[in-house]
A and B are shown apart, each in its own frame.
Chain A
Amino acid sequence: MLRLTGLAKRYDRSDPALAGVDLTVPDGEVVALIGPSGAGKSTLIRCINRLVEPTSGSVVLDGVDIAGLSASGLRAARRRMGMIFQEYALIERLTVMENVLSGRLGYVGFWASWFRRFPPEDVRRAFDILDRVGLAGFENKRADALSGGQRQRVGIARAVMQAPALLLVDEPTASLDPRTSRQIMQLIVDLCAERGLAAIVNIHDVALARHFAHRIVGLRKGAVVFDGPPQALTAEALTAIYGAGDWAAATDDA
């Protein structure tokens, strides 16, 4: 279970990007985080694994307070949180297999990773996961030879490889076509169900969010302004999150 209390972030001298967020995500729940550009969605996700240092507040994952951890403690905590990026953030010049195995870096020592000698169990799991995300036989291709959808599958495989308790997903579909977007969302949701993972998914496509998430959280100017099941996301709620607009298309769907 992930619990955020009073989480705040202010980049130097500007308005706060996060203004005290309280949020609890139980195991297995997929939360869609929506909100206008600049609302602080990416900042929220990055504060959770401390790629961005929060200014105040606490982040507790399964009883461990992330904010107070030393460098090595933080590394151990990061293993429990898989991250998936909009632009995939694969190591372009490495093979698919190396990218997937890089999810185990927090578990293996330096020399083992230098010589690419991962434990047999890790390699076996990597093959399984590649198979699961639909990339069986792709292990020796270089990441820069893949299509966008395939790359995102590698990104997902890398995150799942960490054996995480939580997935942090930042706009996984923003660079993909509509059909691939749905497939990728489906894959993420299915993996969460299979492995009992919680997930926070930043997403701009409200229709996708409604369709796939168990719960929707609306962020505006760094504060939570909506928190409820997809059905509760009415036109009024959308106006509260994004400002006035015509929401017919977004609310009809689902």
Chain B
Amino acid sequence: MTPLWRRRTTRTQWLVWIGWLLGALAFAQSWHTIAETTEWDFVWDAPTQAADMLGRMWPPRWGYAPAILKPLRDTIDIATLGTLLALLLATPVAFLAARNTSPHAVLLRPIALAIIAVSRSINTLIWALLLVTIVGPGVLAGILSVALHSIGFFGKLLYEAIEEIDPTQTEAIAATGASRAQVLIYGVVPQVLPTFAGVSVYRWDINIRESAVLGIVGAGGIGLQLNASVSQLAWPQVTLILMAILGAVAVSEFVSAKVRAAII
């Protein structure tokens, strides 16, 4: 008799099937949760709605352009200043969080990791919702919320980069009789500087996108005009705002890609 060949043993095959079954059940349950609260009439009507909306959106209302210049500039300011502030705050956090540079692995490292986890889990917009209630609506709330979410992003990527450095280079510096601080600036910083720069412009690019919607919750920038135009059903204005946002995003993406290419 020819021996049978199977990719998996019978037992693992069963486990795989059970896994798929559970996954399918979870999906069905989730779908049910959503379907329950959905007005299906609206859903079936969507194509008509979409066609109607798109029809109203063209042509853009060019005359509105001067009104969005200042908000557009605010949007870029929010992203830039927020990114800079985050970088300033995240650098020490990253050095505290990295196993090989943390001055105190039992006390300081968990604190740094907790800061990173909290900052990352809460989106920029949620930080904005919160900060608007504290410092009031406006650009300041936007900058702070961009910074508060970016700290976690920077902190995580930077401390991982610090943990991945070549230890013999730092050892060589330590062997010259250098102090701890000197080992840091000669042995560690040059190794992680390219990552720092790359991650910064990358995040700046993401933050431009994020700050474009911050105005929806009152935290400054062009999102405010977007929200207002949508609620007034001023579709030609919406088109113009979207075009402005897309332009800013495209430019920032181009700049960020160029800078990252130059660093490597």
Contacts and interface: CB of A to CB of B under 8 A. Distances in A.
B254 to A, nearest CB: 26
Contact of B186 (A77, A85, A113): A113
Contacts of A76: 177
Interface in B246-264: none
Given A87-B168, A92-B191, A105-B186, 4 more contacts: A89-B171, A105-B173, A106-B178, A162-B176
Contacts of A83: 172, 175-176
A92 B187 CA distance: 10
B175 A102 contact: no
16 contacts: A79-B177, A81-B175, A82-B176, A83-B172, A89-B171, A91-B169, A91-B172, A92-B166, A93-B190, A93-B193, A102-B178, A102-B186, A105-B178, A105-B179, A113-B185, A114-B185
Nearest to A77: B177
Interface of B: 166, 168-169, 171-179, 181-182, 185-187, 190-191, 193-194
A232 interface: no
A91 B190 contact: yes
Given A87-B168, A93-B191, A113-B182, A78 B173 contact: no
Contacts, number: 78
A155 B171 CA distance: 13
Nearest to B187: A91
A158 B193 CA distance: 22
A82 B177 CA distance: 9
Interface string A107-138: 10010011000000000000000000000000
Contacts of B191: 91-93
A75 B175 contact: no
Nearest to B190: A93
A244 interface: no
Given A91-B187, A91-B190, A93-B193, A110 B182 contact: yes
Contacts of B173: 91, 102, 105
